Amino acid sequence: MKSHLNLAPSVADQTSLDKFLNEKCRSGNVSPDEAHYVFDCMIQRQPAPHMSSFNKLFTALVKIKHYDDVISHFKRFNSTGLLPDLITFNILLNCLSNIGRACDGFVVLGMILRLGFSPDMVTYNSLIKGLCREGRIMKATCFFKKMIAFGCRPDVITYATLIKGLCQTGNTSVALNLH
């Protein structure tokens, strides 16, 4: 709790918040307690900070591998009526894929589409990574094909993710062909 008291003056105004986000969060030198406190301050602020501020905070939590915290904060964020942007959704997708919740990632993809965003390479790569991590390589390859059909060209990360997934599931000949 002492850190919360020490933090209070550091996010008192937008300039101080920006300094905190740009220095502590970008370096990944933020504790989960600090992130929780700052998040609480941000969602209570009127008007709310720009979406990029939330994204910086979420990214800092990803850097320290606190994926569940990002998911929890996203739920609270979403319940306040604030609208995430595609970057926020992509951060959430990355977290879900890192903790083996690819099915939830597809729910997020539905939210992305309902809000009128166009999924980008980061969106697709996160979903493919999640499927591969869960050993669902056939679903990952099907989704890869759909991604191409939707007009999104795979990049090096897409291919590397699929090749790694194929190798881990014993499909080395398919991986070599993809390579």
Give the start-to-end residue ranges of the domains of the chain.
Answer: 1-83, 84-179
How many Å apart are CA 25 and CA 48, to the nearest integer?
18
How many Å apart are CA 61 and CA 77, to the nearest integer?
15
Q: Residue 45's pLDDT is what?
A: 87
Of 139, 141, 76, 148, give the one whose Cα is nearest residue 102. Answer: 139
Q: Residue 12's pLDDT is what?
A: 62
pLDDT in tens, 45-90: 888 888 999 999 999 999 999 999 999 999 998 888 889 999 999 9
Q: Residue 124's pLDDT is what?
A: 95
Q: Residue 4's pLDDT is what?
A: 46
CATH architecture for segment(s) 84-179? Alpha Horseshoe (1.25)
Q: What is the pTM of this model?
A: 0.87
Residue pair 97/126 in contact (Cβ under 8 Å)? The answer is: yes
The angle subtended at Cα 66 by Cα 35 and Cα 100, nearest 5°, is: 150
Tokens for 82, please give them.
Answer: 């604030």
| Weakly modelled stretches of the chain, pLDDT under 50 | 1-9
